Amino acid sequence: MTTITPTLAATEQPLHFHATRKAAAPSVDARQQAWPVAEVQALLDLPLPELMHRAQTVHREHHDATEMELATLLSIKTGGCPEDCGYCPQSVHHETGVPATKMMTPEEVREAVLGAKAAGASRFCMGAAWRAPNDRDLEKVEELVRVIKDEGLEACCTLGMLSGDQAQRLKGAGLDYYNHNLDTAPELYGDIITTRDYQDRLDTLGHVREAGIHVCSGGIVGMGESRAGRAGLIAQLANLAPYPESVPINHLVKVPGTPLADELDLDPLEFVRTVAVARITMPTAKVRLSAGRRQMDESTQVLCFLAGANSIFYGDKLLVTGNPDVEADRALLQRVGLKTRHTFNA
Ligand code: SF4
């Protein structure tokens, strides 16, 4: 048992993790821990009109409040993941019927990149269901990153844990962004995932930062946590130094066969509050509505936009004419009066 202290000021309690190796260069800087959990919780506890006003004020100071980023992710290797994340249908530990696929070829990815480019994308993100890439996987991903860069787009990946050397290799191939979520607050983490620990995640984020790659990191709400749990997650993210450029706030999708399939529904206003507090505590970040948006009613989504969400996950692959989800999204954004920018990025 090792005591890890980087998050001490954030939680005001020492945190004990089953970490057996030395952490990477700290991804949480004690000098810049601006957001103790109690302060984040105080924001979450504000009357909603007050919280929304504060979130909108911060949002308008740093962003065009009428602009929405559209982000898309291509799964280059789906299913068969050895991790046991309790929310994930791609884990081999859960009976969800998601088949494991092989990694896409450079030709297939190039075709997808060209399609994304034609649709106006400026960045292309690839996801793979791995605990961590092995050396052979990484070589292939490096090649895929070069395909994206050849076509003049920014490249983003989400591949699981990375070592420092792997992050450097991806940077060398031209990778611009890396997504790796903290998922939840440290004290709740063991209830959701047992096959890797919180410090593994902080280490990966540290390696990504050290390699000079932009960080995309967020979490999932609605997994049975209390408001204090949501405060713990947001404080962790906000106290990363610097905080992530991109913060996906996911709502649990209850997939039959996963351990969280029967979780109680979260009050939608709690989700809105979480988005607002992410906006206030990470002012310049893109705050992204990701998983779970499809299950949300449109009014809740609009409240999230007003709370400072300025990026949405859009479609599940390339833009396809006639895709009803994409059409519904376009109609909603038009009704709200938001102009869009498509990044094809997770
Ligand atoms: S590591 Fe990723 S793909 Fe694997 S089970 Fe967890 S969330 Fe799913």
Report pLDDT digits (tens) over 240-291.
999 999 999 999 999 999 999 999 999 999 999 999 999 999 999 999 998 8
- Is residue 85 pLDDT above 50, yes or no? yes
Confidence of residue 25 (pLDDT cuts 50, 70, 90): very low
Ligand 1 atom with the smallest distance to the CA of 158 is: 2
Confidence of residue 319 (pLDDT cuts 50, 70, 90): very low
Rounded to 10 degrees, what is the CA torsion of 296, 300, 304, 305?
Answer: 100
Bridge partners, 220 (sequence order): 250
What's the confidence (pLDDT) of residue 15?
Answer: 29
- From the list 151, 77, 167, 166, the residue with the least C-alpha distance to 113 is 151
Catalytic residue among 216, 279, 293, 304: 216
In this structure, what are the phi and psi dihedrals at residue 220, rounded to the nearest 5 degrees? -125, 135
Q: Which residues contact 322 (CB under 8 A, 6 or more apart)?
A: none
- From the list 168, 161, 112, 96, the residue with the least C-alpha distance to 134 is 161
Catalytic residue among 54, 123, 125, 169: 125
What's the confidence (pLDDT) of residue 292?
Answer: 87
The 3-class SS string of 111-174 reads HHHHHHHHCCCCEEEEEECCCCCCHHHHHHHHHHHHHHHHCCCEEEEECCCCCHHHHHHHHHHC
Confidence of residue 344 (pLDDT cuts 50, 70, 90): low
What's the confidence (pLDDT) of residue 223?
Answer: 95
pTM of the entire predicted model: 0.86
What's the confidence (pLDDT) of residue 50?
Answer: 98
Confidence of residue 2 (pLDDT cuts 50, 70, 90): very low
Going 94 to 230 to 215 to 288, the CA torsion angle's sign is: positive
- From the list 140, 138, 128, the residue with the least C-alpha distance to 90 is 128
What's the confidence (pLDDT) of residue 343?
Answer: 66
In this structure, the residues whose C-beta lies within 6 A of any atom of ligand 1 are 81, 83, 85, 88, 90-91, 129, 160
Catalytic residue among 54, 123, 156, 230: 156
Q: Is-catalytic flag, 288?
A: yes
- Is residue 88 pLDDT above 60, yes or no? yes
Across 38-42, 138-142, 252-256, least confident range = 252-256
Q: Is-catalytic flag, 304?
A: no
Cβ-based neighbour number of residue 25 at 10 Å: 11
The alpha carbon of 268 and the centre of ligand 1 are apart by a number of angstroms equal to 25
Bridge partners, 342 (sequence order): 70
Ligand 1 atom with the smallest distance to the CA of 131 is: 1
The alpha carbon of 345 and the centre of ligand 1 are apart by a number of angstroms equal to 18
Instruction: Count how many Cα atoms sit within 13 Å of the Cα of residue 18 in the half-sphere of its side chain.
Output: 7
Q: Which residues contact 195 (CB under 8 A, 6 or more apart)?
A: 82, 83, 84, 131
The alpha carbon of 258 and the centre of ligand 1 are apart by a number of angstroms equal to 12
CA distance 166 to 52: 41
Q: What CA–CA distances, in Å, run from 69 to 2, 102, 156, 332? A: 41, 30, 15, 14
- Is residue 322 pLDDT above 70, yes or no? no
Ligand 1 atom with the smallest distance to the CA of 90 is: 8
**Could you tell me if 124 and 153 are in contact, meaning their C-beta atoms sit under 8 angstroms apart?**
yes
Instruction: Count how many Cα atoms sit within 13 Å of the Cα of residue 211 in the half-sphere of its side chain.
Output: 26
